[in-house]
Amino acid sequence: MKKLYEIVNEVLESNELDTQETFKDTDNLKNDLGMDSFNLAELTVMIEDEFDIDIFEGDLVFTIGDIKQKLNG
């Protein structure tokens, strides 16, 4: 999941939000990491480019753990 964390940090950095040294599965993308819907859209695009999966399609995704679950199928 190293690549996922890199992507999340890239989105955080490019949107002037605090990057994280470590991530917890419970980290909420909006409440804990400070992302808004534009940042989430950027995150979906970058993850889709890397993993070929649209994480927000279908199930609700709120946390880092939700994304990991989605990527693990």
Contact present, 71 and 40 (Cβ < 8 Å)? no
Site string for other proteins, 2-21 (x = CB under 8 A): ------------x-------
Q: Which stretch binds other proteins (CB under 8 A): 1-9, 20-28, 40-48, 65-73?
A: 40-48
Q: Supply the DSSP string of 10-25, one letter for each residue.
A: HHHHHTT----SS--T
Question: Which one of 44, 47, 64, 66 is in contact with other proteins (CB under 8 A)?
Answer: 44
Q: Check residue 37 for interaction with other proteins (CB under 8 A).
A: yes
Nearest CA to 66 among 36, 26, 39?
Answer: 26
